[in-house]
Chain A
Amino acid sequence: GAVVSQHPSWVICKSGTSVKIECRSLDFQATTMFWYRQFPKQSLMLMATSNEGSKATYEQGVEKDKFLINHASLTLSTLTVTSAHPEDSSFYICSARDPLAGETGELFFGEGSRLTVL
């Protein structure tokens, strides 16, 4: 199956700093990538849909100025958590569909990035 890689796996930062998380599709071109966050023992929550070459589409309640998404190429999307605070500590996961599989294709997930803000 398709491979999505995410980096870094773990990151610890001080409150007020910014953190960038990268998501790459390794063997296919992803025009669309999805960013999720997951708190312990809770479901995946879609934060935004990242579109190559255009602005991301944010879900209701997600601050677009705080969670900056850039999808500069067909294989790379980045999520930057700006001015991070302890409440931003969470598991962030990106995913993408193989475009050949269409809208009903399975999602391939990155490994996830666990962010801890001190």
Chain B
Amino acid sequence: GQNIDQPTEMTATEGAIVQINCTYQTSGFNGLFWYQQHAGEAPTFLSYNVLDGLEEKGRFSSFLSRSKGYSYLLLKELQMKDSASYLCAASDSNYQLIWGAGTKLIIKP
């Protein structure tokens, strides 16, 4: 079956760095997305990886290893506004997105 695993909740300190991991098992693979979702709001796009390696975009970076079925989202210089849920989603052979349950990130001062 198809499955996405990511931690339920993480806590980090303002100004620090946090890494949110995601492992996936899908029928075929056409890339991995990370979305940010603040409470009560719709998700917003953060990144897309389809090739192995690290993609850096400002304070946020995303990494993919296709052979390991593994990705992570790295957030640097954490700010209070980064408190949100982070959703990992893998695109399968039909380009259908398989969503993880999301990781709730709590930032403490």
Contact = CB atoms under 8 A, between A and B. Distances in A.
A60 interface: no
Contact of B48 (A93, A106, A110, A111): A106
A44 interface: yes
A35 B79 CA distance: 32
Interface in B35-52: 35, 40-45, 48, 50
Contact of B101 (A43, A91, A109): A43
Contacts, number: 48
Interface residues of B, dominant DSSP: loop
Given A106-B45, A109-B44, A44 B99 contact: yes
Interface residues of B, number: 22
Contacts of B43: 44, 93, 107, 109
B96 A46 contact: yes
Nearest to B33: A106
A46 B91 CA distance: 13
Contacts of A104: 30-31, 48, 50, 91, 95
B42 A111 contact: yes
A44 B95 contact: no
Interface of A: 1, 6, 41-46, 91, 93, 95, 103-104, 106-112, 114
Interface of B: 30-31, 33, 35, 40-45, 48, 50, 87, 91, 95-97, 99-102, 104
